[in-house]
Amino acid sequence: MPYTTTQDELQNAFAQAGAVSSASIITDKMTGRSRGFGFVEMTNDEDAQKAIEMWNGKDFGGRKLTVNEAKPLEARPPRREGGGFGGGRQSW
């Protein structure tokens, strides 16, 4: 979505498909600027499906939207320790 989209604009757009529980725009932690995507929670599955059908692939403020159901993050393997710097070499 456009980086200038407000939460109210996002909520109002999706309300055309049904009742919206919440709408949020994801922002960069450092700058506070929009990252160009967000999340909309609809009150029921039927309205959510209508919103996907209504907005997926459609133009919104000059940008093509990708709208789908959010999936929970999958478990990731733990990160390896060490960071990979120097390989244990020492200078004397």
Contact 1, 37 (CB under 8 A): yes
Ordered domains of the chain (ranges, CATH):
7-64 (3.30.70.330)
CB-based contacts of 69-75 (< 8 A; 24+ apart in sequence): 70/39
Q: Report percent pLDDT > 70 for the chain.
A: 86
- Residue pLDDT, tens place only, 41-84: 999 999 999 999 999 999 999 999 999 998 887 877 777 765 55
The pTM score is: 0.74
The owner of tokens 């989209």 is: 5
